[in-house]
Structure 1
């Protein structure tokens, strides 16, 4: 961000002191941003970009996220069948390490999510027991299907609810993640397809995981 911030500030003739005063951030922080000593938070990026009259993404160094498959919002998506569509996209905000993208398939979660939206989630997920009632999460079931749904715990099993489709009852969740960020379909910028070798390795990894789960 450091070079982009200084260039954008210089382009409209703002000093570090003026920018800091206008956005309510200390001069020392602006200096750290421009030196690369510290990365700004999302809210700070938004405030700075607004003052500089540019899009927040214009301040961010290219952040590349791997889209590792599709996730169902009405459609049933099985990871073993969708890995040939792996690609990479530019993220418009800083993304924490360990994040991956899933492309939404289906319309049962509209208007929250549209087909083609990219959901940024944790590849490792979160402990299933920490899922709260009525939380919205990306989930994968023991049979391999993957969904974005509102989850509810009932009688020891999970119920997956949609905004405009019938719920899916009595399921076992083996992976879940909150949605950290959404890249809307009309804002998705593909970078390049990941080499087939990487896709093949991921397919094998997923297949092994599902087989182990089915045996357990």
Structure 2
């Protein structure tokens, strides 16, 4: 508002919101706005909804972050995402081209995906369904959870029977997993080598 020379009344009118709400939000006396209010403010200020929510939450530096949910096994058996409570993991800067909303980061443990993914690398993905293996991820590199609660990063292929899947390692020397049940699988959206990871 200050950068644009806007006062409470003109902004509240442009956004279709009560002037008292805009005033309290600016002073930090109001809670984070509902999504519908944030959308109106974003349009009136020519900002993104994410920026509005960051300002409302007291994080106006516009540096977006993603929490590391835990570790996922490439060759090692790793209980899926057991390292941190949801959202409480270390934060990493959100990579360019990704939005932090709906994106999850996990750290690779093991070497079965060498030389593509290495121990300590980060993988970013988003899940469309809570418990599903969408047909569009078949044949792709995915983060997935098996029926025993183990997390993996593998190429997912259809198994020999409906409901079963082959988990293929990219490292020729590593073991593949044949005809296993999966709780869910999500395509890897982005891979960050560990030396590029910027924890916040």
TM class by shorter chain equals 0.5 to 0.7
Aligned to 2:148: 143
1:95 aligns to 2:98 (yes or no)? yes
Aligned to 1:119: 123
Alpha-carbon distance in 1 for matches of 2:93, 2:133: 29
Extract unaligned runs of 5+ from structure 2.
4-44, 50-60
Aligned to 1:154: 159
Give the structure with the larger helix fraction.
1
Q: Which has the larger radius of gyration?
A: 2
- RMSD of Structure 2 on Structure 1 (CA): 2.7
Alpha-carbon distance in 2 for matches of 1:131, 1:73: 21
Match among 184, 189, 192 for residue 198 of structure 2:
189
Count of residue correspondences:
138
SS at match of 2:108: strand
Tell me, yes or no, if the aligned pair for 1:63 and 1:95 is still in contact at 8 Å: no
Structure 1 segments (4+ residues) deviating >3 Å: 35-39, 123-127
Tell me, yes or no, if the aligned pair for 2:72 and 2:81 is still in contact at 8 Å: no
Extract unaligned runs of 5+ from structure 1.
4-34, 40-59, 192-216
Q: Residues 128 and 145 (structure 1 numbering): CA distance in 2 closer, same or farther, change over 3 Å?
A: same
Tell me, yes or no, if the aligned pair for 2:92 and 2:198 is still in contact at 8 Å: yes
